[in-house]
Structure 1
């Protein structure tokens, strides 16, 4: 931990204004006497960024499932590995042929992130197109600990070396009918008369066949369903959108390949963090591994991050994915603060740093959680929620101008996380007003 604090201390100037003694007793009392928090297990850690010291910890050394707080670790990994722009394509030209490989870039034909650079490059090429699949990935399309029953939920697309359309089919209501994008899947939608009172849409577990109920979809209905990914399907979808022939071949990537860049890395990171996009998080790990090792070896990537960075943490942690979908992930509130310190050391500009986190009362997953204080936001934090888990970790600015980092982890509760969310907001607002 001394190594970690020394690293962060080189970036921040210690001000005598903030070196004064802070009476943390009122905050501790708020946490320890809360009737909401008393009903479940929670951990809390608070760090003063201006004086570089921990202020308060309650169960800060205990282990919790981070849920989407795991994306903070992925953010750090991506910042360490990727440059300013996402690598969209590797390719070589051989005579009248263009041979290309995927890079794990999740933005290709993505409905919010696609820059069209890779698409236009392939579309405008006058050469014959040959797609060469990358080597087989470990944990080919799911990570360990993912819930298989969530296979057709929007938040769990399959992972791949060359994603297309975010590896989902987007269904929309138009004039009372259900349309899908890409339109290739329209032929794979079947209407069933199941007596359901509301409109339903599901995908068959082992293939790309979708069933919808006979009643009309609600007005403005939008739903994303992951499709079963295969190299054959990718080629078919690519041909359909390019309106050009694409041939799949086995061809090893040479050392002298060229690169096409796609989207700004910071834009992808922001999209991962604000709406908490699991697919982007996992693909960012694949891309980071490709940049470092030349292949999609994410297990090696996690081992390197552990060896080079996480080993300096006060507490040992375990991470098996980049999104937080796995319940095998285990962290402590203290380790969450420590990864925040590393990220802040890389992005000392507060505005740039805060842009990568949901802003309380403004955007992302915290838009409706917090109210602005005197017209200003004061919390920038990543949320994380799965069954019986609800977390927040990030940064807070107090009325006195004190800059803090915090982690607030909750687990083992029944029912909705709504009351816990409100209680966290109440306590973080208390800190804002009193420190």
Structure 2
């Protein structure tokens, strides 16, 4: 098997080295496996700002997670790389009530940062301020009653990547379930759910299968006490992990914060609190540069959605997603004139299949960022070809290895890559490369796209 992989990799390199981008792309789009697909590619030389290659540059296509580039670049542009999300604490010494004001910070107890940072800081503030906390009052956002994007698919919402952004986020808004499986065809046994949430009911219709990987779907809605998991898992596995979104984020938070603070009473209301320097404190998230790095490298939908909320609050764009996204597009229509046509945004992370962009806009956005003071932060956040993130297993052993930094995107029927190329002639190219509506396997599309990537580096 390794022999054939090595042979295939060498073949890509040899063939691509003899091809221009035009030739490589023509061979790519004319491949029979892409007969019914839509392909689009736009490449710009960052130094000269001249077009290197274009095909379907103004066509509206679905970007999947490459849309996170718009979100993270916008956050860096409008908030600054040193921006920190601020959570306010106000203590009422008469009622011995601590008022907590969540602020769409995705990092509380997140596995992608120092997991105990929020809890440790909260305890330290209470101790240093000598606050005798008897009860906690959490001021939540009215949108938390129904936080899910209306244009996300029902089959996505219950899975870990469909976790809804809320003003109060805890442990990445996800849970881990564990299954035992035996022979293919038999029912899988749910062993446990971690963390365990009081009154949450999990119903399963999961079978063992000869197939590899997690082929389950979880169905749930925010603030629901019921989760349904169905599908297939590999046979003969013990404690096989399946991550799902947490529909009861606030419930889990209150469970765990009660134990942490040793209190029994927690309320959720927007009762007024009187603020003074002595009774007010703040907890800060990691800097935006770190959040952008995590968002792009690990393709974190929750982080991306919370970054959009931060932008909206700072720019005073309101609370409704549609309004916020429209304001964001209006901003870039001024910054990148005439390039924001054909755009239709439904979220900040790219999960909705209804999102529409053009490769021209995405490439021009990358060109803009290339000349901005936050470029090094953005570049550092992007996976590196054949080395890290979702690009780790692409173009290995070719000249493209280590020479392409790009955000990737994949949802059903979509493969997308947008980023920067360092050519063998020391040029820096910005590009966006998107394929929609293919009917072959995602891995086949990825292999076909590799030939084009190698040809880019050869320029």
Taking structure 2 as the reference length, the TM-score comes to 0.78
Which residue of the partner structure matches residue 333 of structure 1?
359
Cα distance in 1 for residues equivalent to 2:159 and 2:253: 20
Work out which of the residue numbers 266, 279, 283 in structure 2 matches 1:260. 283
Moved more, 391-400 or 319-328: 319-328
Note closer, same or farther for the CA distance 1:387–1:419 as it changes in structure 2 (3 Å cut). Answer: same
Which residue of the partner structure matches residue 292 of structure 2?
269
Query: What's the offset of the Cα at 1:402?
Result: 0.8
SS in 1 for 2:244: strand
Cα distance in 1 for residues equivalent to 2:274 and 2:332: 32
Which residue of the partner structure matches residue 255 of structure 2?
236
CA contact (8 A) 1:45 1:406 kept: yes
Which residue of the partner structure matches residue 339 of structure 2?
314
Q: Residue 141 in 1 paired to residue 124 in 2?
A: no
Moved more, 71-80 or 85-94: 85-94
Query: What's the offset of the Cα at 1:210?
Result: 4.9
Note closer, same or farther for the CA distance 1:87–1:195 as it changes in structure 2 (3 Å cut). Answer: closer
Which residue of the partner structure matches residue 301 of structure 1?
324
**Any stretches of 5+ residues in structure 2 without a counterpart?**
1-18, 181-188
**Any stretches of 5+ residues in structure 1 without a counterpart?**
1-24
**RMSD across aligned C-alpha pairs, in angstroms?**
3.4
Cα distance in 2 for residues equivalent to 1:221 and 1:191: 17
Which residue of the partner structure matches residue 405 of structure 2?
380
Moved more, 87-96 or 359-368: 87-96
Q: Residue 33 in 1 paired to residue 27 in 2?
A: yes
Q: Could you report, residue by residue, the CA deviation over 1:276-311 in whole angstroms, capped at 9, with x for unpaired residues?
A: 121211122122223333974544432332222234
Note closer, same or farther for the CA distance 1:196–1:30 as it changes in structure 2 (3 Å cut). Answer: closer
CA contact (8 A) 2:399 2:454 kept: no
> How many positions carry a matched residue from both structures?
407
Which residue of the partner structure matches residue 127 of structure 1?
132
Q: Could you report, residue by residue, the CA deviation over 1:304-356 in whole angstroms, capped at 9, with x for unpaired residues?
A: 32222234242412212101111221111100101112222324655x43211
Work out which of the residue numbers 52, 57, 62 in structure 2 matches 1:55. 52
SS in 2 for 1:224: strand
Which residue of the partner structure matches residue 10 of structure 1?
none
Cα distance in 2 for residues equivalent to 1:375 and 1:328: 32
CA contact (8 A) 2:67 2:349 kept: yes
Which residue of the partner structure matches residue 303 of structure 2?
280
CA contact (8 A) 2:46 2:370 kept: no
Which residue of the partner structure matches residue 181 of structure 1?
194
Query: What's the offset of the Cα at 1:89?
Result: 1.3
Cα distance in 1 for residues equivalent to 2:24 and 2:118: 53
Q: Could you report, residue by residue, the CA deviation over 1:133-172 in whole angstroms, capped at 9, with x for unpaired residues?
A: 3332399322232101223212101221111111111235
